[in-house]
C-alpha cells in the first residue's frame, strides 16, 4: 500500500489593497455586481466576474427559485454567458464575491462542487490555467493560480476517451 496526498497552494492577502490595481478593479466590480443577484430566499447573493483574454468582462449572479433545486449559481450563469457570446475566447481571471443578508461578508467564498467541476471543464477547453480570486465584500482575498486547484482528481474529457 502507498499513501498519497494532494497539496493545494494559494496566496492569502489581508485585503484587496495588497493586490495590483487590475485585481482591485476586478474585486470591486465583482462586489458591486453581487447586489444584482436574485436571492430572495437565502439572502445569499453571489457574483462571478470573468476577465477574458481579449479584455472583455463577463459576469453572472446566482438566480434562486422557489423550487430550490432549479436555482443557478453565479459561476454557471457566467460560464453559460461566456459560452454564448465568446465561446472561443479564453478566460484569464475569475473573481467571486458575495453579500449575505444574515451574516457578515468578510471572508472569501469558494464555489460549490458543481461549479468547481464546471470551471475545470471550461479551463480544460483551452488547456490553460484560469486564475481565481475569492473574496467577500471586505477582508481577506484568496488567489489560486488555477481553478483545478479547487478540485483535485476532477473528471475531465480524457476520462471519456479510450
**pTM for the structure as a whole:** 0.94
Which residue bears the cell 451574516? 103
Per-residue pLDDT at 157: 77
Is 75 catalytic? The answer is yes
> Mind listing the pLDDT tens digit for each residue in 76-93?
999 999 999 999 999 999
Is residue 127's pLDDT more than 90?
no
**Mean pLDDT, rounded, for 48-57:** 96
Is residue 37's pLDDT more than 90?
yes
> Mind listing the pLDDT tens digit for each residue in 16-34?
999 999 999 999 999 999 9
Q: Which DSSP letter does residue 56 get?
A: -
Contact 148, 120 (CB under 8 A): yes
Helix (H) or strand (E) holding 61: strand 57-61
**Mean pLDDT, rounded, for 133-144:** 98
* β-bridge partners, 100: 44
75, 90, 123, 143: which is the annotated catalytic residue?
Answer: 75
Per-residue pLDDT at 156: 80
Contact 112, 62 (CB under 8 A): no
Mean pLDDT check: name the lowest of 4-8, 22-26, 39-43, 144-148.
Answer: 4-8
Q: What are the structural domain ranges in the chain?
A: 11-159
Mean pLDDT check: name the lowest of 70-74, 96-100, 116-120, 158-162.
Answer: 158-162
Per-residue pLDDT at 106: 95
Laid out side by side, the sheet with 57-61 consists of: 11-13, 141-144, 131-135, 91-100, 44-52, 57-61
What CATH class does 11-159 carry?
alpha beta
Per-residue pLDDT at 162: 60
Amino acid at each position: 500500500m502507498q499513501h498519497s496526498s494532494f497539496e493545494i497552494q494559494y496566496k492569502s492577502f489581508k485585503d484587496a489593497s495588497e493586490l495590483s490595481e487590475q485585481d482591485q478593479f476586478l474585486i470591486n466590480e465583482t462586489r458591486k455586481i453581487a447586489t444584482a443577484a436574485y436571492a430572495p430566499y437565502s439572502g445569499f447573493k453571489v457574483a462571478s466576474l470573468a476577465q477574458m483574454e481579449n479584455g472583455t468582462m463577463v459576469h453572472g449572479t446566482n438566480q434562486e427559485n422557489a423550487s430550490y433545486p432549479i436555482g443557478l449559481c453565479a459561476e454557471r450563469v457566467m460560464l453559460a454567458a461566456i459560452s454564448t457570446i465568446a465561446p472561443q475566447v479564453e478566460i484569464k481571471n475569475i473573481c467571486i464575491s458575495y453579500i449575505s443578508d444574515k451574516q457578515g461578508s468578510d471572508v472569501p467564498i469558494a464555489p460549490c462542487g458543481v461549479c468547481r467541476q464546471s470551471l475545470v471543464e471550461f479551463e480544460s477547453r483551452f488547456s490553460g490555467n484560469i486564475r481565481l480570486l475569492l473574496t467577500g465584500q471586505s477582508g481577506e482575498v484568496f488567489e489560486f493560480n488555477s481553478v483545478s486547484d479547487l478540485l483535485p482528481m476532477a473528471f475531465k474529457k480524457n476520462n471519456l476517451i479510450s
